[in-house]
Amino acid sequence: MGFTPDFLDEIRNRLPASEIVGRKVRLTRKGREFSGLCPFHNEKTPSFTVNDDKAFYHCFGCGAHGDVINFVLETEGLSFPETIERLAAQAGLEIPEYTPEDKKRSQVKKTLFDVMEVVAHWFESQLKAQIGTEGRNYIQKRGLSKDTVKKFRLGFAPPSKTSLKQAMLARSDITEPMLVKAGMLIKPEGGGESYDRFRHRIMFPITDRQGRVVAFGGRALSPQAKAKYLNSPETPLFHKGRLLYNLSGARKAAFEKGRLLIAEGYMDVIALDQAGFPEAVAPLGTAVTEDQIREMWRLAPEPLMCFDGDKAGQRAAIRVVERSLPLLKPGHSLRFVYLPEGEDPDSFVNGQGHQAFEKLINAGIPLAQVLWSELIGGINIDTPEQRAGLEQKIGRILSEIKDGKIRGYYESDFQKKLQKLFGDDFVPEINLHHQDKFYQEKENHRPKGRNSRFQKNDFNQKASEKSIGDLKKTTIGSSQKSSTLDRERLIILTVLEHPWLLLRHEELFATFEFESVELDKVRNEIIRIASRDSDLEKESLRHHLIKNGMGQAREIIFRQGVLTAQKFIGLNSSKEETEETWLHLLEAFHLNKLEQDIALLESTDLSEEDFARLQALKEEHFASIRNYGASWEKENS
């Protein structure tokens, strides 16, 4: 099986090195780079770096160096074809059939890169020549400096229909078919002579991630032009839905600043760069695409979308929100910057200056807030039907979020917003599935002391008692010697015997509050090991713990006979039984802790702050009971 260089480049472009390496190495971001402990040799001080900008990793200790393909080859023990197949799947690419035609196309692309570079130089020369006077006057009027013009390689396309054609065909290494394939000449379908695509325009070269010219954008100088801006067509080099204008130029600044600005046009990007914002890019004459959003996230976790403050800008923002919802992933979102009506980034920075635009950026609005404002804007909520309709609409929109964890946070956040919007006497629920009727205690004034005991209905009381009852059925629960320490050891021991639990419940395990300081250290070490080894097995975990000085603690846990007698950590238990009982144990701890906190607060006179905390604890307690009760009811139905 063979793979074209273009296909391999596409894999490297789509998969950030930090994302692939980060599955094996715990990385810490330091400026433009990430660092961590080298996976290729034992070290205690990090000398291993990953650079997404340059798309490679390097160890200053052992000299290991390579890209995402090399890393998987070296760490997964796969063959080259297996490595490419795995990475292609992760990048959302289909493995192409490598034929002689593919080889020919690859060679054509290499040739076209050369053609586009020659064309870019020619446009630049025309801007500097006598014929480019009108273009220079326009650029001067827009306030662009000579350094800016040079940096962005601005050029000029003369008014003649064949100026470029004649200049290029005068060379021996460029042919008419090359220029047509590169999108620089138009060949009429009905026959006839080809002619220049771009005429009487300021020319903006468009480059790929590597900085190679792949297309052009042209701004018309004549008021009678049919299109103010004209872009190259789709070519073997150029796919406008995948690239961003100034992508290669903004990468370094975006990594250094940790942010990325998204403007709407070429001049906006150039003006921002000249004003001290080199981390700016723009889509290429189309609505922002999914590929472009992924490309943005490679440069910054929360790109700032800069839109006009008018209705058109707001509509554009909502389209971006809708497009990005299915793509959201932990740590990655968007923020929105709205400019005053009638302003765009170009006019604003030229009129108001760097500091004023910096202030706008710092006030960027999170995606969740933009979505919420759009959902409730202009909606009546006077009747139960209208409120139910709004809840249904929100649930439908949030169902677009594919990441379950993020969707859950959105549901929780929007539920609180709806409760505040609807008032204290109405408690909405946002969920993508059927739920039981929500129970809420109504209180008309702030309670004092023991007069505000939290009441539970019979179903919830049974659910709470059931969670503790399941634990008491085990040896540890029935033993008079049982203690909190025993139960905490049981939680650790279950994970030691069944590391696969971390694949689904790593966050739950990581946030559990251990009273035992020593067990807390063991838990933290397990989490650290699991973060570096996605396929963790029991023996591997044991080996790592011993190697990292936790062997004695592990042996102490295993010597507790009362623990090893537990049915659900035995070899004969099914995964479902083990997981269910372990989760019940964690839930029992959580409920018990909440009830202790609630009882403590209710036994004293409450300040306003204490009362607010009490109400929050009650809501959390009820939610925990209801979640457990649902599984309890399912088991006993």
Residue 452, pLDDT score: 36
CA atoms of 551 and 546, how far apart (whole Å):
4
Cross-strand partners of 282: 245
For 121, how many CA atoms within 13 A lie in the half-sphere containing its CB? 9
Residues 79 and 107 in one domain: no
At 155 the three-state DSSP class reads: strand
Question: What is the helix (H) or strand (E) element at residue 141, kind and residue range?
Answer: helix 133-141
Residue linked to tokens 């009487």 = 200
Give the separation between CA 121 and CA 529, rounded to whole angstroms: 53
Does some domain include residue 204? yes
Predicted confidence at residue 430, as pLDDT, reads 60
User: Please, which residues have CB within 8 angstroms of residue 529's CB and are 6 or more apart in sequence?
Assistant: 536, 541, 544, 545, 548
Per DSSP, the residues of 427-451 read: -----SS--PPPP----SS---GGG
Say what the pLDDT of residue 439 is. 30
Residue 127: what pLDDT? 96
b/e 236-260 (16+ beta carbons within 10 angstroms → b): bbbebebbbbbbbbbbebbbebebb
Closest CA to 84 of 15, 130, 148: 15
Residue 464: closest CA among 601, 636, 622: 622
| pTM value surpassing 0.75 | no
CATH number of domain containing 309 = 3.40.1360.10
Q: Is residue 78 part of a domain?
A: yes
Q: Which domain holds residue 349?
A: 247-372
CATH number, domain containing residue 558:
1.10.860
Q: Where are the alpha helices (DSSP H) in 229-265?
A: 247-257
Q: How far apart are CA 314 and CA 298, in angstroms?
A: 25
CATH number at residue 80: 3.90.580.10
Residue 33: its pLDDT value, please? 83
Letter for the amino acid at 97?
E
Does 19 share its domain with 51?
A: yes
- Given the DSSP bridges, would you call strands 48-51 and 56-59 parallel, antiparallel or unpaired? antiparallel
Both 610 and 493 in a single domain? Answer: yes
The two beta strands, 335-339 and 304-308, are parallel
Residue entry with tokens 């692939």: 20
Residues 168 and 69 in one domain: no
At residue 636, the pLDDT reads: 44
Q: Angle, nearest 10°, between helix axes 575-602 and 484-497? A: 150
56, 104: one domain = no
* Phi and psi at residue 429, to the nearest 5°: -135, 130
Contact partners, residue 254, CB within 8 Å, separation at least 6: 260, 279, 299, 300
Secondary structure element (H or E) that encloses residue 186, with its range: strand 185-186
- What is the CATH number for 157? 3.90.980.10
Q: Are residues 63 and 175 in the same domain?
A: no
What is the rounded distance in angstroms from the CA atom of residue 523 to the CA atom of residue 216?
Answer: 55
pLDDT along the chain (637 residues), means of 10: 74 88 87 85 87 85 87 79 85 72 64 92 96 96 95 96 95 91 91 93 92 94 90 91 91 84 93 96 86 88 86 83 92 91 89 93 93 88 88 91 90 89 65 37 38 36 40 38 71 85 78 78 80 69 79 72 49 71 79 75 66 65 53 44
**Structural domain includes residue 195:** yes
DSSP characters over 34-84 = EEE--TTS--SS--EEEETTTTEEEETTT--EE-HHHHHHHHH---HHHHH
Q: Is 344 contained in some domain?
A: yes
Q: Are residues 598 and 562 in the same domain?
A: yes
Number of domains into which the chain is organized = 5
Instruction: Find the length of the chain.
Output: 637
Whole-number Å distance between alpha carbons of 624 and 345: 48
> For residue 455, what pLDDT is reported?
36
DSSP assignment letter at 474:
S
Beta strands of 62-178 (E only): which ranges?
65-66, 155-157
Which DSSP string corresponds to 304-365? EEEEESSHHHHHHHHHHHHHHGGG-BTTB--EEEEEPTT--HHHHHHHH-HHHHHHHHHTPE
Long-range contacts of 550-553 (CB under 8 A, 24+ apart): 550/521, 550/522, 550/525, 553/518, 553/519, 553/521, 553/522
Domain finish residue from 170, 198, 231 = 231
What b/e readout covers 444-458, taking b as 16+ CB neighbours within 10 angstroms? eeebeeeebebebee
Read off the tokens for 226. Answer: 């049919």
Contacts of 246 (CB under 8 A, 6+ apart): 152, 269, 273, 280, 281, 282
Are 215 and 113 within one domain?
yes
Q: What is the pLDDT of residue 626?
A: 52
Residues 630, 529 share a domain:
yes
The verdict on residue 439 lying in a domain is no
**Is residue 630 located within the same domain as residue 493?**
yes
Residue 226 and residue 115 share a domain: yes
Same domain, 475 and 573: yes
Task: Count Cβ atoms below 10 Å from residue 409 Cβ, excluding itself.
Answer: 14
| pLDDT at residue number 378 | 80
The pLDDT of residue 442: 32
- pLDDT for the residue numbered 220: 95
230: which DSSP letter?
E
Residues whose CB is less than 8 angstroms from the CB of residue 180 and which lie 6 or more positions away in sequence, other chains included: 186, 187, 194
